[in-house]
Each structure stands twice: as C-alpha cells, then as structure tokens.
Amino acid sequence: MTTRISARFTDLAAAGRPGLVTFITAGDPDFATSLALLKALPAAGADVIELGVPFTDPMADGPAIQAAGLRALKAGQTLAKTLDLVRAFRDGDGVTPIVLMGYFNPIYVYGVPRFLADAKAAGVDGLIVVDLPPEEDDELCLPALAAGLDFIRLATPTTDDGRLPAVLAQTAGFVYYVSITGITGSATPDADLVSAAVARIKRHTDLPVAVGFGVRTPEQAAAIAKGADGVVVGSALVEAVRASLDENGAATSRTVADVETLVRQLADAVRGVRRGAA
C-alpha cells in the first residue's frame, strides 16, 4: 500500500535530493498558533512533518522539547486536540505526510482501536512511539499497520547488526536513525559516522533512512543530508518558538515568521545536496 510517506520519499528519490523532516509540538504555545505553524511548514520547505504529542514524562526528549510539551499541556492540549490539529491541517493540504511522534501512554488511555480509527480519519500517515520496542508489536505496531498507518521505528548508534532485523521487521514509511546517544538536542552528530551508519542500515532494508537528534543549523543539516534520505530537525524549531514568545509565554507576531525563516534556511541547505535519481 502506498502512503503519503512512501509517495513523498519516492518523489524525493526521483528528484535526486534528500528531504527535510520538521518537528513541532502540537499545541505549543497554543492551539491556534500551533495550527498556523503546521500550515506554514510545507510552503517553507518541509517535506514531512512530525507532530509531537505532548506527554508529562517525555523520557527521550531534551529540555527544549520537554518545555514545549509542558507549554502545550498548560494550554490544554490533548491527544484528541492533536488529532483536531491534523484534521484542520488536512482541510488545506492533502499531500504533506504527517507523523505523530510521542509515547504509548496517551494512546493507551485513549484506546488503541479508537485512536487508530480516529488518527486515520483525521489524516495521520504514520506513528513514531519511542517507548514501544519490537517485542511489544502486538500492542500498537501491528494494529497500526493493519489500519493503514506507517509505523516508523528508531535505530540508534547502539543498534547492532544482531538487533537491526528485529527493529526493521515491521517498520514502514522510513527508518528514523537517531544520530547520537542520548536525548534530543543534546549533542552535535558527526556527519561521517552518520553516513556510515545509514549505509549499514541500508544493507538491511530498502526503506529510506531519515536522521535526527542534534541537527540544529542549516550547515549541519546539509552535512547530514549528504549521507541520508532525510534530515529531521526538531529542537531548533521548538526553541525558535520559545524564543519568540512574550514574557507571559504567549505567541507574538514573530512566532510563525521566525519558524518559517529557519525552515526555509534548513530547506535551502538540504535541497542544495544533490544525488543521482533513484
């Protein structure tokens, strides 16, 4: 089955360029601003959008994304409202892939069958659930695939060749390679090591490999893009949101504009990397 995600990466390969995957937190700093950001991302150059689902215990996330989640929760964001965001986005965009990224607890509380039905109906294309290993595939991964949602798995520098087949067995859409050991935004990835790691993963799968965690600047994005099918930028974007807020933590006229500017710079850098068409 062709999903928006697989279609987008097929188009990117045909165009001979890597993609830019952007992450923002749903509901940060409020629902309306979050929707405006979401709608602005594709025109600014985002090829795929990851939408973070706020959670009270985001163990894989660094300070910037943790703070974004807390701002969103304080503003009343819920999983149901996150699906409302996607639904509103789909009113004007039927092609840009959207991946929900988060943790299993909110989905479990919502109810897995109900969540999958509602997510699919809202226009979600894929899921990244960082605290569900392959051994728990029956909980969400397999039902998600059956519902037509890509289940995107994380591979890390410590995922060796013995573990990779289990990680990749039910992965769909793309593989998310975590370029550093640790939490989001905590270190700068080494482009040469990342390129070698992506090549190793590709010996085990035909899926595209997108690289994230620690990519902050256009220069870093371009360096990573040379060895990957996609570059994921998250902490830098949510930090741009934070830096634009007023003293009360409310959105200003700069909030959407500042994020748009950074995404355009990142997209220009990533799109400057060319490779032979697949």
Of these residues, 50, 125, 137, 229, which one is catalytic? Answer: 50
- From 28, 30, 47, 61, active-site residue: 61
User: Which string of DSSP letters, residue by residue, matches the chain?
Assistant: ---HHHHHHHHHHHHT--EEEEEEETTSS-HHHHHHHHHHHHHHT-SEEEEE---S--TT--HHHHHHHHHHHHTT--HHHHHHHHHHHHTT-SSS-EEEEE-HHHHHHH-HHHHHHHHHHHT--EEEETT--GGGTTTTHHHHHHTT-EEPPEE-TT--TTTHHHHHTT--S-EEEE-SSSSTTSSPPPHHHHHHHHHHHHTT-SS-EEEESS--SHHHHHHHHTT-SEEEE-HHHHHHHHHHS-TTS---THHHHHHHHHHHHHHHHHHT------
Distance between CA atoms of residues 251 and 259, nearest Å: 12
- Is 50 considered catalytic here? yes
Q: Are 254 and 224 in contact (CB under 8 A)?
A: no
Written as six digits, the tokens of 167 are 């990680």
Which residues are the active-site residues? 50, 61
